[in-house]
Structure 1
Amino acid sequence: MPAKILVVDDDLWIQRVVLAALRDQDYALTTASDGTVALAKAMADPPDLVISDVMMPGMSGWTLVTRVRATPRLALTPFIFLTALDSAEDKLQGFRLGADDYLPKPFRPEELAARVASVLRRSQHLHGAAREQVREVTPTSARGFNGNLEDIGVASLLVLLEMERKTGLLVLHRDHPQERCRLFLTQGRVVDAFMDVGPEARHVDTVYHALQWSAGQFEFRALPVEMRDQIGSSITALLLEGARRMDESSRDDGIELPEGDML
């Protein structure tokens, strides 16, 4: 079946340009003019990829990607931002919120087509493998799985564990800066979390801190967890609040990174 792509932009001319750029490929293309309509269409018929502008009336692209990542049936959907916002801070914001790629306007149609093909290939391979790995882990098994956060982000990883209602320990660590944390899950809910190495944080603050990581490694081990629930929120609620905090923090801090660190 052809890959289903949802194109979201309030500019009808840009919609036509994107459709023309992808017309020669075997894709099923659908459009929406704002994030609210796009989310409704995605919920009714989940796409294989979303290409979205940022600045739109109603629901912005920032909010749309946050809602997509917080919705279990859409959480692994690849997402490409196609926007006139091209500063380093804007790109960082996009990747923090869960985008798979970020292409500034104006763009070359052939570059968009190449990036779409690359994201779809990567998604099919990585997310398919991740789902199979998660399903192989039973709550009482000593087995587990591990991987890189560059391949599957913290948000998507948590949604997978929630969907499969897994019980066990999720360890996240990265080298730059040196940090390590542990998240304990029961039936797909994070019940407690601790920083072993890095800034002092406990419980829900550890979760929000880890959601900002875009690189590092993870390991999940299925094991019995008998702990008091110190978090008190579903993973969906944690992702929405974490995205809000990252958005607020990026505006307050005015973070800027060199271009070479973004892609």
Structure 2
Amino acid sequence: MPERARILVVDDDPWLVKMICTVLGERYDCVGAVDGIEGLAKALARPPHLIVSDVMMPRMSGWELVKQVRSHSQLAFVPFIFLSALDSDEDRLYGFRLGADEYLPKPLDIGELALRVEVVLTRLAQLEQAARERVRRAPPKGAPSLRGDLDQIGLSSLLVMLEMERKSGLLVVARDRPEERVRIYLVEGRIFAAQSDDGAVRNADAIYHVLGWKRGQFEFNAFVVEMRDEVEMSTTGLLLEGARRLDEAGRA
């Protein structure tokens, strides 16, 4: 990541855009847009390192903007922070399901936004550095790309790593019994399909199923995967929903 990251701020309130860019502009290059259509055009013309967007806007809402952003390969992994007066649990969960990294309520605390921006960009820089290191230490040609135990690296961290490296291939996660084996197909880091060997769980439900495993083995082999996206959720959305379900199960 360059010394000064580029941030795109999208909101139909020009005063708020100016205030955010004034504060963030002390550390980052900041550009504004008045709605999702203009924001998408500016993002495609010059991909930012982070997008901060309102939800309720004319012409194109923030909900639609993040969908459009995630549909373009050059923008698919750009972190996304929502700002919105829609602050119910359902609204926040919907935002995360669409691929948001953070969700801040309005009226906006500009100090909290600055802190969240710093956290998101620092995490991005760390993941990019880790990805470069893993590529440098890649195994010899013909060997499995990655294999290990879930007690050494959790499935959540593994999926984030594969997403950051934009890997395509098959990730197999297994426990001791033959029926406890799930195959996860990835295309450029995104989970396109998943299924247990016994066919009991598929796609998103299969991911939620294995996220609860603390022990087991995994093996990832890289190859070109050509298939339809049957999951249609970002890795972030899957992990957040999986964490919510595990939390609910723990309280039951």
Instruction: Please confirm whether the aligned pair reaches a TM-score higher than 0.5, indicating the same fold.
Output: yes
Structure 1 residue 152: Cα displacement? 7.5
* 1:19 is the counterpart of 2:21: yes
Report the equivalent of 1:69.
70
Which whole-Å CA distance do the structure 2 matches of 1:58 and 1:152 have between them? 38
CA offset digits 1:29-70 (Å, max 9, x no partner): 111112222122112211111001111122221222222223
- Read off the aligned partner of 1:106 and give its amino acid letter: P
Distance 1:212 1:192, change over 3 A: closer
In structure 2, runs of 5+ residues without a counterpart are: 175-179, 248-252
Judge conservation of contact 1:10–1:57 (CA < 8 Å) in 2: yes
Whole-Å separation in 2 of the counterparts to 1:107 and 1:114? 13
Alignment correspondent of 1:142: 144
CA distance in 1, matches of 2:187, 2:67: 24
| Number of residue pairs aligned between Structure 1 and Structure 2 | 227
Deviation at 1:130, TM superposition (A): 3.4
Tell me the SS of whatever aligns to 1:140: coil
Which structure carries more relative contact order (alpha carbon 8 Å, separation 6+)?
1
Correspondences of 1:96-245 after superposition (within 5 Å): 96-130=97-131, 132-133=133-134, 136=138, 140-144=142-146, 147-148=153-154, 157=163, 160-162=166-168, 167=169, 169-171=170-172, 181-184=182-185, 193-195=194-196, 200-201=200-201, 206-209=202-205, 219-222=218-221, 232-233=227-228, 238=230, 241-242=232-233
> How far apart are residue 238 of structure 1 and its match?
5.0
SS of structure 2 residue aligned to 1:160? coil
**Cα offset for 1:15?**
0.8
Following TM superposition, by how much is the alpha carbon of 1:224 offset from its aligned partner in structure 2, in angstroms? Answer: 7.2
Residue type at the aligned position of 1:157: E
- Tell me which amino acid in the other structure corresponds to 1:140: G
State the superposition RMSD in angstroms. 4.3
CA gap 1:46/1:148 in 2 versus in 1, 3 angstroms = farther
Which residue identity does 1:53 align to in structure 2? D
Structure 1 length-normalised TM: 0.67
Partner residue in 2 for 1:52: 53
Distance (whole Å) between structure 1 residues aligned to residue 188 and residue 38 of structure 2 = 33
Unmatched 5+ stretches in structure 1: 174-178, 259-263
Q: How far did 1:144 drift?
A: 0.8
CA distance in 1, matches of 2:112, 2:121: 14
TM-score (norm 2): 0.69
Change (3 A) 1:52 1:23: same
Q: CA deviation at 1:76?
A: 2.0
Closer, same or farther: CA 192–47 of 1 in aligned 2, 3 Å: closer
Structure 1 partner of 2:250: none
Per-residue displacement from partner, 1:163-186 (whole Å, max 9, x unpaired)?
A: xxxx4x21469xxxxx97312468
2:95 matched residue in structure 1? 94
Q: Share of identical aligned residues, percent? A: 42
Offset at 1:196?
Answer: 5.0
Code of the aligned partner of 2:110: P
